[in-house]
Amino acid sequence: MSEKKTKVAVNGYGVIGKRVADAVVAQPDMELVGVADVVNDYRMKTAAIRGLPIYAALPEKAAGMREAGLSIAGDLDDLLAQSTVIVDCTPKGIGAKNLERYTKAGVKSIFQGGESHTLTGHSFVAQANYESAIGRDSTRVVSCNTTSTVRTLVALRSAGLLKKARGVLIRRATDPWESDHSGIMNTVVPEPHIPSHQGPDAQTVIPDLEVVTIAAKASHTQTHNHYWIVELSRTVEKEEILDAFRAAPRIAFIRMSDGIVALNSTIELMKDLGRPRGDMWEVALWADVLTVNGNEAYYTYQVYNEAIVVPENVDAIRALSGVVSDAHESIRITDTALGMRREFLIQDAPGDKK
């Protein structure tokens, strides 16, 4: 079956790129052709130790990479020549410059949420609009916060429950590995504009979603934390809301009663579960905090920004390449390969068997 595997390249081996690379390797129907980057520090050296073929994204960087002891398999053109789909995980703004090159090489391309919707004209969340991406030349996987917003609100909408949603997004300030002038300390920094960009960004996927987001950065480095006030289309019982989330993919329940009482206990849980890099691809929603008050629901969840978009990138590969035409089938393959869960702490949870 090897000859049927989709040949995938990753350009940009950073926070997202290295995780997409791992996820591609884990898929039964994909082959990671190689990863391209420009740096020669610990990130690429660990890629080498892990045995990944390394390409120089810029020819002028190849010498420095070789001097640092990296074995360079070729340049970006060499990588493109072998690939069917490339996942561009370069820093914000760089991707936009790469699109034309990918197109010329006849390689389909996936961009991240840092790029604008207009770059590809299509923004992607698997459960919301997989079908519309089938056969396209390119798409953009929306950012972590937007992905979680679409996953949860589409769950409520699919159950006929959503009227309008107002979210307060307390973002992590920088990534946990950053040490050079990127953090905030002992403060909260509100976004100066309301609505923040995440609400409109969700509308690039679902144009008529009635959503407003307010965002701020807080003084922690791991995972965003959302608080939602949702007006429902009718008065419901709490269990109906939970069922709506259960019926949707990539939302998993955590509970205060299990000692998962804060963002960092969820992170410890991921380590305890043996997740690679401690990653959490699911939206982790506190089932026992969710409250229904007449026709309003209030809930909070956690978004592991370093990993949550990884499964969407994997699905986007299948959609663009056209090898799987059904969203549910692609989601099933992706989630099984990664070992995703519906309940983090219940053994053999029904959701996990699907």
The set of catalytic residues is 144
Which one among 222, 233, 295, 336 touches a copy of itself, defined by CB under 8 A? 222
Residue 250 Cβ vs a copy of itself, minimum distance, rounded to whole Å: 19
Cα 202 to the center of its chain, rounded Å: 14
Q: State yes or no: residue 268 binds a copy of itself (CB under 8 A).
A: yes
The residue from 63, 64, 77, 298 that contacts a copy of itself (CB under 8 A) is 298
Q: How far apart are CA 317 and CA 132, in angstroms?
A: 13
Please state, in angstroms and rounded to a whole number, the distance separating the CA atoms of residues 119 and 6: 24
Position 120, amino acid:
T
Instruction: Between 94 and 349, name the residue whose CB sits nearer to a copy of itself.
Output: 349
Mark 270-289 with x for binding to a copy of itself (rule: CB under 8 A) and - for no binding. Answer: -xxxx-xxx-------x-xx
Piece of the chain touching a copy of itself by CB under 8 A; list 4-12, 93-101, 222-230, 236-244: 222-230
Residue 347 in the binding site for a copy of itself (CB under 8 A):
yes
* Nearest to a copy of itself of 81, 227 (CB atom): 227
Interface with a copy of itself, residue 50, by CB under 8 A: yes
Q: CB-based burial of residue 114 (10 Å sphere; 0-12 exposed, 13-18 middle, 19+ buried)?
A: middle
> How many CA atoms lie within 13 Å of 229's alpha carbon, on the beta-carbon side?
5
- Nearest-approach distance from CB 6 to a copy of itself, in angstroms: 24
Of 8, 11, 18, 206, the residue at the interface with a copy of itself (CB under 8 A) is: 18
Main-chain dihedrals φ then ψ at residue 48, nearest 5 degrees:
-65, -45
Residue in 328, 314, 22 with CA at minimum distance from that of residue 141: 314
Judge whether 255 and 249 are in contact, CB under 8 Å: no
Total residues in contact with a copy of itself, by rule CB under 8 A: 79
Q: Interaction with a copy of itself in 60-119: which residues (CB under 8 A)?
A: 69
Is 264 among the residues that bind a copy of itself (CB under 8 A)? Answer: yes
Residue 258 engages a copy of itself in binding (rule: CB under 8 A): yes
Name which position in 162, 267, 303, 320 contacts a copy of itself (CB under 8 A): 267
Q: Are 109 and 138 in contact (CB under 8 A)?
A: yes
Residues in region 159-218 near a copy of itself by CB under 8 A = 166, 168, 170, 173-174, 176-190, 192-195, 212, 214, 216, 218
First to last CA, the chain: 24
158, 295, 300, 336: which one binds a copy of itself (CB under 8 A): 300
- Written as six digits, the tokens of 86 are 């490339």
Please, what is the minimum distance in Å from the beta carbon of residue 339 to a copy of itself?
11
34, 38, 90, 112, 315 from 10: Cα distances, Å: 7, 13, 9, 12, 15
Return the range that interacts with a copy of itself (CB under 8 A); candidates 55-63, 99-107, 131-139, 220-228: 220-228
Q: How many CB atoms lie within 10 A of CB 91?
A: 10
Q: Which of 140, 263, 145 is nearest to 200 (CA)?
A: 145
User: Other C-beta atoms within 10 Å of 257: how many?
Assistant: 11
CB 85 within 8 A of CB 317: yes
Residue 63 or 188: which CB sits closer to a copy of itself?
188
Q: How far is the CB of 343 from a copy of itself (least distance, A)?
A: 10
String of contacts with a copy of itself for each residue 126-165, x by CB under 8 A: ----------------------------------------
Question: Looking only at residues 326 through 345 of this chain, which bind a copy of itself when binding is defined by CB under 8 A?
Answer: 344-345
